Structure 1
């Protein structure tokens, strides 16, 4: 995961440095800059403790959820634009469906965790086109591949499905016996790429995929070890922190209903943070720039 994140960010930053020399700024006048508004339909997935295998590339297509977003983009240079975005979507996971063909499948099936998490994200990214356009928006290329990277803040609220079929907020329960509940407001590093297609004079469509490297291991409320029973002070905390786990004999003798031994692993120790991925189709409307005629005196 670290290599993918590091290499992708390095590529974007390198292209940005190459694409914005002083000559570009001089040749690309303000009269050629323009703004656009975008509306997106997204598909969201996540990588974490409740995916089929503990790998960055692992995801369960059945857990894909739909999201939406709105953005405003400003083209500054022949290759470089800046974009502000606001999006909403949901990620989900369930051990009963995700424990497939993995050495830890038995463990994960017995852990029996499930979650859904609605994410509201605000982002700011730099977009680097791999094909430049030194002209105005009317002469932009028909197809343009691009890469992007930036920063984002997001609000999330993981919920679990209890035995009565009700969704319960998990963060306040401190299901792993935390002294302080993890924050619902977090930061992430979005990066990825896409391709943009010119439809007509004012409309573009784009297909984009972007990863979000977060700094929390609790998008799924699962990241550490089972809590001591004495620290689970409510029926809901006791259920999601311990009782949801199935009974299992043999190699997993610690798993005995509501008597899972505190301090035994609950999350994947090698996966320090969770990720989520956004794949979307965006329709962009270019706001026709106002042409200022020179003043004569």
Structure 2
């Protein structure tokens, strides 16, 4: 009780609890160039968050989100992508902690104190598992070692739970005393080029056959069987498998949408109601 009273005495602070509905989108090696084509690969997203507003322009926000990412070379207008003919789909789960900085609105806008704009940045932990449809069935791509990651002579397998840096902002409108409506958008800058399982060159088919069997090797080379036949038997020679991505550029993803929240919830309002705190001095 005493701790609650002490916390309730921190004037100007308050808790915000909210839910969000929005969209997620991917940007990487399989992304199309045209905005209209990007819209084909926008997926619904939902989530929940809690934010603590300090007695200054700052706030801390913890948010969990669930969405999906995808792309398909067959549905773009880029000829080289159509020839490559790759695709992927992954569910996406994200937990992120961000700091928010409220920005003053120009008075000439005449929006009043009900409006709030902010910028935010922080750190996110996300989980993904890229998959592809092969011969009518969906397969996880990491276990196929499509680019040799995790096989002898290649780098370690990429992790499917990683960190990202979210950057973005939003705007909120206070409806009544406690409710707020908001719009937000964040770019998650990742440290991987494998959201889509595509980065550089395919693994050597000889090694795939040796370590995983011919059936798995044919799944990896499903879109370029001629190249596989040429490469088979040439393991150890200076002949590289086809390049299918840009290893010098990481993948990223967007999360955005609308939110509805309860704001200005202090500990006193939540737990104490009309309780009288004892005097300490």
TM-score for both structures, normalised by structure 1: 0.75
- Mapped pair 1:277 → 2:277: no
CA distance in structure 1 between the partners assigned to 2:215 and 2:17 by the alignment: 44
Mapped to 2, the partners of 1:242 and 1:192 lie a distance apart of 39
CA drift of 1:58 comes to: 9.4
The residue aligned with 1:42 is: 22
1:185 aligns with 2:157: no
Does the Cα contact within 8 Å between 2:193 and 2:247 map onto a contact in 1? no
What SS class does the counterpart of residue 176 from structure 1 fall into? coil
Q: 1:295 to 1:46 in 2, by over 3 A?
A: same
1:8 is aligned to none
Q: Does 1:295 align with 2:275?
A: no
Q: For 1:99-127, what per-residue CA distance to the aligned partner results, in whole angstroms no more than 9, with x for missing partners?
A: x2xxxx33221211110011111100001
- Residue 45 and residue 239 in structure 1: after superposition, are their counterparts in 2 closer, same or farther (change >3 A)? farther
Consecutive unaligned residues of structure 2, counting only runs of 5 or more, are 1-8, 106-111, 232-239, 270-274
Gaps of 5+ in 1: 1-28, 133-139, 248-255
Cα 1:97/1:260, change in 2 over 3 Å: farther
Q: How does 1:6-85 map onto structure 2 within 5 Å?
A: 30-53=10-33, 60-85=38-63
What is the correspondence of 1:15-164 to structure 2 with a 5 Å cutoff? 30-53=10-33, 60-98=38-76, 100=77, 105-131=78-104, 141-164=113-136
CA distance in 2 between counterparts of 1:270 and 1:159 reads 22
1:46–1:59: 8 Å Cα contact kept in structure 2? Answer: no
Q: How many residues align?
A: 244
Q: Structure 1 residues 286 and 172 mapped into 2: Cα distance closer, same or farther (>3 Å)?
A: same
Deviations 1:228-259 (A, max 9, x none): 111223456424421224x8xxxxxxxx3644
Give distance in 1, aligned partners of 2:230 and 2:252.
Answer: 28
> Residues 87 and 260 from structure 1, CA distance in 2 versus in 1: closer, same or farther, beyond 3 angstroms?
farther
- Give the counterpart of 1:286 among 260, 263, 266: 263
Mapped contact 1:145–1:196 kept (Cα < 8 A): yes
Residue aligned with 2:129, SS: strand
Q: 1:196/1:260 Cα in 2 relative to 1: closer, same or farther (>3 Å)? A: farther
- After TM superposition, give the deviation of residue 79 of structure 1 in Å: 0.9
Pairwise CA distance, 1:42: 1.9
1: CA distance between counterparts of 2:10 and 2:230?
65
- Taking only aligned residues, the RMSD between alpha carbons, in angstroms, comes to 2.4
Answer whether contact 1:40 1:69 (CA < 8 A) is retained.
yes
CA positional deviation for 1:158: 0.6
Q: For residues 172 and 158 of structure 1, do their structure 2 counterparts lie closer, same or farther at Cα, with a shift above 3 Å needed?
A: same
Alignment partner of 1:243 out of 206, 211, 222: 222
1:284 deviates by: 1.0
Are 1:263 and 2:236 counterparts?
no
Displacement after TM superposition at 1:295 (Å): 3.3
- 1:15 counterpart residue number: none
Contact 2:37–2:75 under 8 Å retained in 1: no
TM-score, with structure 2 as normaliser? 0.79
